[in-house]
Amino acid sequence: MPAYWIAHVEVTDAEAYGKYAELAGPAIVKFGGKFLARAGRYVQLEGNERARNVVVEFPTLERAVECYNSPEYTEAKSHAEGASVRDLIVLEGV
């Protein structure tokens, strides 16, 4: 069953976050991730608004979590820390 990373992000340091994005993309692809939505137009209907929203499809929930915990993504994530406020979940599809 596919699984989805759903991230809501407020970038506070564009330069550092750019380094995150540069490294995160290849790490996500390595684990079978496919970007479905990435910082496109959106309408905030409820909850806390974050200007950058991302949805990534993975083959399985386990693969998504494996990516998140991988050395490649951990390195990328180190550039997002302090450069953004993020909420990230992994949701199994139906």
> Nearest-5° angle of CA 44, CA 90, CA 68?
120
- Cα(91)–Cα(81) distance, integer angstroms: 22
- Give percent of the chain with pLDDT exceeding 70: 100
Q: What is the pTM of this model?
A: 0.91
Q: Which domains does the chain have, with CATH numbers?
A: 3-92 (3.30.70.100)
Res. 28: pLDDT tops 90: yes
Q: What is the mean pLDDT of residues 56-74?
A: 98
Q: What is the mean pLDDT of residues 56-62?
A: 98
Res. 10: pLDDT tops 90: yes
- Give percent of the chain with pLDDT exceeding 90: 97
Q: What is the pLDDT of residue 82?
A: 93
- Cα(8)–Cα(60) distance, integer angstroms: 21
Q: What is the mean pLDDT of residues 38-52?
A: 92
